[in-house]
Each structure stands twice: as structure tokens, then as C-alpha cells.
């Protein structure tokens, strides 16, 4: 199965930088979720600062994969996102045929326009399909919110909720905190 993980950027401050708390929570979520989704082959991100910083934090947690900027993932590109999605699926089928996991970091209007789903900041979805060309075809793919994805992995809804909360309760080392915070400057 091919999986496209779609993240909405994290919470940000007055200067449009991710907050330290949000960045650390994102890192912990990503570090744990990789056990369930597999190693991403690449992260595609909006060039807007809050999305770019989110992508970099995820990349640090995932173990450094190619980070690819896509202007079409910007929040003001919501109306063009369906066209980009078709092109992306075709390119992914060609460029990532042997890979099973890709990540997008984008904004709320894009997710709403493409999938009809509203995401909170730092929330993620999993799109799953037999191949990349089917990833945006409603009848050929499955969509999971983060809790639903954990349920699909065999956890009860209650267990999945508690597991996702536990993820952000882990302790970070001082070195991890420094690396994460350096991405926010």
C-alpha cells in the first residue's frame, strides 16, 4: 500500500514561527508514528515559513529525507490543489514507484479544498491506496485521521487516543531540544 501523510503546519507565534512547544510535540509525534507508517521517502512542503519549519522538524524526527518545496501546497493555492494533486500522483507513480510513504506539509484551505476535511494545526491524515495514481481517487483510497489510523493498526479507539497523547509526553534529550529549537530561528 502507498501512504501519503498530510500534515497541517504547527501552531505559530506572532512572527509566524512555530512555537517551541509545538515543534517539540511534532517531533515526538513523528518519531512515534514512523513505527506505524514506515519511513517516508520524501517530504513535500509549502514554502511558507510555518510549513517549512514543520517539515524540517518532521524531517529531523524521520531521520532526514529529501525535503521538496512545492508552491502549490501554499494556503492561497487552495483552488489549484486538485490539479496539483493529479500531477503529483502521476509524478509520484513515476519518481517514487518503489517507495510506500510520502509526506505533505500544507495548510488548512488546501486540505479542505482537496479532501473536504478540516484539520487543526499539527493534525495529520493518512491517505492509503494500492498505488500513487489512486491516492486521490475517492473510491480507490482510504482516508484516516490520526486516531482512526491507529485503530486500523489494531488499537481500540480509547487505546489509540491514549497512545497519541503518550507520544507527546515523552521526554526529549537536551540535544534534541537544541536541534529542534535551531530549526525555529
Q: What pLDDT score was predicted for residue 185?
A: 79
pLDDT in tens, 105-142: 999 888 988 999 999 988 999 999 999 999 999 999 99
| Domains, the chain | 2-182 (3.40.50.1240)
d(CA 97, CA 90): 10
d(CA 48, CA 36): 28
CA of residue 49 relative to chain centroid, distance: 15
Task: Write the CB contacts of 21 (distance below 8 Å, at least 6 apart in sequence).
Answer: 11
Q: Which helix (H) or strand (E) holds 167?
A: helix 157-167
pTM: 0.93
Amino acid at each position: 500500500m502507498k501512504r501519503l501523510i498530510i500534515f497541517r503546519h504547527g501552531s505559530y507565534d506572532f512572527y509566524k514561527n512555530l512555537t517551541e512547544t509545538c515543534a517539540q510535540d511534532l517531533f515526538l509525534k513523528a518519531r512515534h508514528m514512523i513505527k506505524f507508517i514506515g519511513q517516508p521517502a520524501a517530504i513535500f512542503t509549502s514554502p511558507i515559513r510555518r510549513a517549512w519549519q514543520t517539515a524540517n522538524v518532521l524531517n529531523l524526527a524521520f531521520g532526514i529525507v529529501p525535503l521538496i518545496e512545492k508552491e502549490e501546497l501554499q494556503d492561497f493555492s487552495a483552488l489549484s490543489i486538485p490539479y496539483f494533486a493529479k500531477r503529483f500522483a502521476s509524478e509520484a507513480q513515476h519518481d517514487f514507484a518503489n517507495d510506500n510513504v510520502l509526506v505533505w506539509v500544507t495548510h488548512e484551505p488546501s486540505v479542505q479544498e482537496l479532501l473536504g476535511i478540516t484539520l487543526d494545526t499539527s493534525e495529520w491524515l493518512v491517505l492509503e491506496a494500492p498505488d500513487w495514481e489512486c491516492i486521490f481517487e475517492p473510491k480507490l483510497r482510504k482516508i484516516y485521521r490520526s486516531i482512526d489510523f491507529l485503530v486500523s493498526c489494531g488499537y481500540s479507539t480509547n487505546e489509540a487516543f491514549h497512545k497519541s497523547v503518550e507520544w507527546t509526553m515523552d521526554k526529549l534529550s537536551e540535544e534534541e531540544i537544541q536541534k529542534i529549537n535551531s530549526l525555529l530561528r
